[in-house]
Amino acid sequence: MTESDDGVRRKYEALTNCLSCKVDERDYEHLQPQLASLQELAGVENRSISLYDINRASFLLKTDKHLELLGYEPQDISIGNYHAMIHPQDVVFLYDAELKMYDFLAKRDKDKKDYKLVYDYRVRAKDGRYIRFLHQMAIFACDRENRAWIMLIVSDILSQFPENEEPRRFLINTKNQKVCLFNEENQIADHLVTAREKEILSLIAGGLDSQSIADRLCLSLHTVNNHRQNILRKTRTKSIAQAAYYLRCIGLC
């Protein structure tokens, strides 16, 4: 990022203050069956699932299973004090990622809901430790003028990721799995993982070593190891196990 931290903060505050939606009570009534289904899903998933209502600037649904890990009670957490708990080196990164996501989506037409922002950052627990979270944010519902109204936020814990790692961010098209933003900073042309890399990850998960994978796919050992290194580089992870977990969380593996 080249813009100053203060500039990004001001832009983020301006955006959140000016967002509006064209909805009424009938729209909320039509949304109820979907809320019930998502509430049921959240009860069985080992992850936090939330719905943020841009119109009312509040959560329609919030099932935060990670508060116990952080040491907080639900009444302790609001958007303002949650952002204050984010690592100071990561909070502007988060603001910038969301600003660029909203700008990108504002230029889209009917396919706005086909994109999700994937980003991770560190949150300070009550005991002072920092815990890394992986968030995925996408439009759950649009208003009558096709603007973002309800945002879906899915959160996982990246407990095996070192505290001092730099955060990652991607805007991904969920239909074709192409990375649409932040390509240059992650050195990615189109896809976070290629079809071949997914195949290699699947074989590693099946217990095969690099030589066995090379024999199975009729590739050289050098080529297989290059694919492994590319997976680590693009996901900014230290091990294939970390990379595989990260990719499973975001639905790419």
* pLDDT of the residue at 152: 94
Average pLDDT over residues 88-110: 92
What is the tens place of the pLDDT at every residue in 143-174?
999 999 999 999 998 877 777 778 899 999 99
What is the tens place of the pLDDT at every residue in 187-238?
888 999 999 999 999 999 999 999 999 999 999 999 999 999 999 999 888 8
Residue 3 scores a pLDDT above 60: yes
**Residue extent(s) of CATH 1.10.10.10 domains in the chain:** 195-249
Which residues is 130 bridged to in the sheet? Answer: 124
Residue 88 scores a pLDDT above 60: yes
Residue written as tokens 């997976």? 231
Write out the two tokens for 69.
Answer: 């890990």
Instruction: Report the C-alpha gap between 172 and 127 in whole angstroms.
Output: 34
Instruction: Cite the beta strand spans of 1-147 per DSSP E.
Output: 48-53, 58-63, 115-124, 130-142
Helix (H, G, I), strand (E, B) or coil at 159: coil
CA distances from 5 to 15, 17, 80, 92, 197 (A): 15, 18, 17, 6, 36
**Residue extent(s) of CATH 3.30.450.20 domains in the chain:** 5-186
* pLDDT of the residue at 38: 83
> By CB neighbour count within 10 A (0-12 exposed, 13-18 middle, 19+ buried), where does 199 fall?
middle
Each residue of 77-87: b (16+ CB within 10 Å) or e?
eeeeeeeebbb
Instruction: Report the C-alpha gap between 17 and 13 in whole angstroms.
Output: 6
Residue 13 scores a pLDDT above 60: yes
What's 177's DSSP letter?
-
Nearest residue to 233 (alpha-carbon basis) of 202, 193, 206, 205: 193
**For 195-249, CATH number?**
1.10.10.10
Q: Which fold has domain 5-186?
A: Beta-Lactamase (3.30.450)
Question: What's the 3-state SS for 92-131?
Answer: HHHHHHHHHHHHHHHCCCCCHHHEEEEEEEEEECCCCCEE
